[in-house]
Amino acid sequence: MNAMERAFYAADPTFDGRFVAAIRTTGVFCRPSCRARKPLPKNVTFVADAAAARAAGYRPCLRCQPESAATVHVREIETPIGPMTLGVTDHAIVLADFSRRAMMPAQLATTRRRIGPTVVGDAPLLDRLEAQLREYLAGERRGFDLPLETPGSAFQERVWSELRDIPYAETISYRELAVRVDSPLAPRAVGRANGSNRVAIIVPCHRVIAAGGGLGGYGGGLTAKRFLLDLEVRGYSSRGLKSAPSAW
C-alpha cells in the first residue's frame, strides 16, 4: 500500500490538496479526508488534482466537495502567553490558536477538513492578523477588524457568534452563555464549544468564566486566560507592555 492509498483509507486530512481519489464505480472524485464509505482499492485511481479528475470524466463528491478547498497559509508566532499558530485563506482568518494545547492537532485537522490544506508561508492577511494580535497583547487595541471564517456545527456557530458580542473587559458565565444561545440546560456543551473555538482572542472565549467567579477552563491554559482578562481590565494602560518579553 503506497502513501496515497494509506492516506485515503485513513481519511487523513493532512493529505488534502496533494491529490484526489477517483472512484471508478461511482464516477466521483474525493478528497483524501472524505468520510464516505471507502470503495475497494481496485476501484480507486489517484490523480494529481481536481482538474485532472474532471478531465478523466469524474465529477466531484457531494459529501467532501473536493473543489471547495481553499489553501490555508499558516505561521507560528511567539506571544507573551506562549506560541500561537495562525492560519488564513486569501479572504479570511480561519485559525489563531495556542500551539502547545493538547487539542492543537485536532484543531489543525478540523481546519483542513472544513477549509482546506495547510501550508507554511506568508500571506497579507497573516501579516494583518499578527500585527493586530501584537497591538492587542500590548494593550494598544480593543477590537479586531479582520474577516473571519469559522465553520462548525450549528450549535458551535451559535456559541461562537455570541462570544463575539461579549464586550471588551466584560465577562459572563458558561451558564449565562448557555441561556443566550437558547440552551439553558447545556452549560457543559457550551464549554465544549468554547474549547473548540479555532480563533482564540479574536473570538473571545476567554471572557467566559465559571458561575462562582472562577476562571473555568481555557485552551491556552489558565495563566494565559488570567493574562488576557487582566490586560482588558487595564485597557490601554502602558502597564500592559511590561508583561511582554523583550523579544516581543
pLDDT in tens, 111-157: 988 888 888 989 999 999 999 999 999 999 999 999 999 999 999 99
| Residue 108 φ/ψ, nearest 5 degrees | -65, -40
Rounded-to-integer distance, Cα 60 and Cα 47, Å: 13
Can you name the CATH fold of 3-60? DNA Methylphosphotriester Repair Domain (3.40.10)
Q: Write down the pLDDT at residue 107.
A: 95
Report residue 244 CA to chain centroid gap: 25
Contact between residue 80 and residue 45 where contact means Cβ atoms under 8 Å apart: no
Chain region(s) in the chain for CATH 1.10.10.10: 72-239
Does the active-site annotation cover 34? Answer: no
Q: Write down the pLDDT at residue 1.
A: 67
Q: DSSP alpha helices (H): ranges in the chain?
A: 3-9, 50-55, 104-114, 124-137, 154-163, 174-180, 187-195, 222-234
| Coil vs helix vs strand at 41 | helix
Active-site hit among 30, 34, 64, 205 = 205
Where do we find the cell 463528491?
61
Residue 199 CB partners (closer than 8 Å, separation 6+): 93, 94, 95, 96, 97, 148, 150, 160
Q: Write down the pLDDT at residue 245.
A: 35
- Domain 72-239: CATH class, spelled out: mainly alpha
Rounded-to-integer distance, Cα 115 and Cα 151, Å: 8
The pTM of the whole model exceeds 0.85? no
**CA 142, 193, 95, 98 torsion-angle sign:** positive
Contact between residue 136 and residue 203 where contact means Cβ atoms under 8 Å apart: no
Residue 157 CB partners (closer than 8 Å, separation 6+): 150, 151
Chain region(s) in the chain for CATH 3.40.10.10: 3-60
> Which residues of the chain fall below pLDDT 70?
1, 236-248
